[in-house]
Amino acid sequence: MSITVGVLSIQGDVCENMAASHQALDEMNISGNVIPVKTPSAISDVDVMIIPGGESTTIGLLTLAGDTLATLGERIRGGMPTLGVCAGLILLAGDVTDRMLGGTGQPLLKVLDIKLERNSFGRQRDSFETILSMKPLGIGDFPGVFIRAPSVTAVSPDVEVLSVYDNRIVAVKQNNTIGTSFHPELSGSTELHRHLIGMARR
């Protein structure tokens, strides 16, 4: 079975996520492709989607302008395995506030039934790395790279908490959608990318 991984290529760590996805496919001995996604038509061509870190407001506005946001939401609700990283997690959330500014008013996909706080761990200068675990996925000792990271402040009963750091939720899963506050593509590990690709094979 060939699998096509799409990386939303509006802004953010696009190259890093594409490289991690290529490596994950190789490590799993799976035939597949990794493609940049910029248009609604390209979304229909992928089996797995990654929404990378970047400025979430910019990503939301740019995708909304081309109807990509609506098309992406339809595919995710239809069961397409999806990973939202940092700003990608923000885009997936149902409700978002900013630690400094309050309400954001930004476009959201609302596919994760969570409340989220932007810049929860501080600004760029407050970036850090720590070791996390995502035991529900069978992943332990995972390097978590936090850059202007959000945190999840509330979840519905339909949302599974995957990881907590400093008493704050930093990774969640609902149906086939995973969201992380941290950047797995910068960790040097492909475990989460491999798990995501594996979801498309089930």
How far apart CA 191 and CA 121 sit, in angstroms, is 24
Residues 6+ apart with CB under 8 A from 47: 3, 4, 5, 80, 81, 200
Residue 192 one-letter amino acid: L
Q: Is 185 a catalytic residue?
A: yes
Which of 27, 55, 129, 183 is an active site residue?
Answer: 183
How is residue 90 annotated by DSSP?
H
Give CA–CA dist 201/25, Å, rounded. Answer: 12
Per the document, the length of the chain is: 202
Reading the block at residue 17, the tokens are: 């996520």
Q: Do residues 198 and 32 lie in contact, with contact meaning Cβ atoms separated by under 8 Å?
A: no
Token pair in block for residue 194: 């491999």
Q: Which of 15, 16, 22, 86 is catalytic?
A: 86
Q: Which of 117, 185, 193, 195 is catalytic?
A: 185
Q: Is 15 a catalytic residue?
A: no
**Beta partners for residue 122, in sequence order:** none
Q: What is the dihedral of CA 128, 144, 62, 9, to 10 degrees?
A: 120
Task: Tell me whether residue 183 is one of the annotated catalytic residues.
Answer: yes
User: Which residues are known to be catalytic?
Assistant: 86, 183, 185
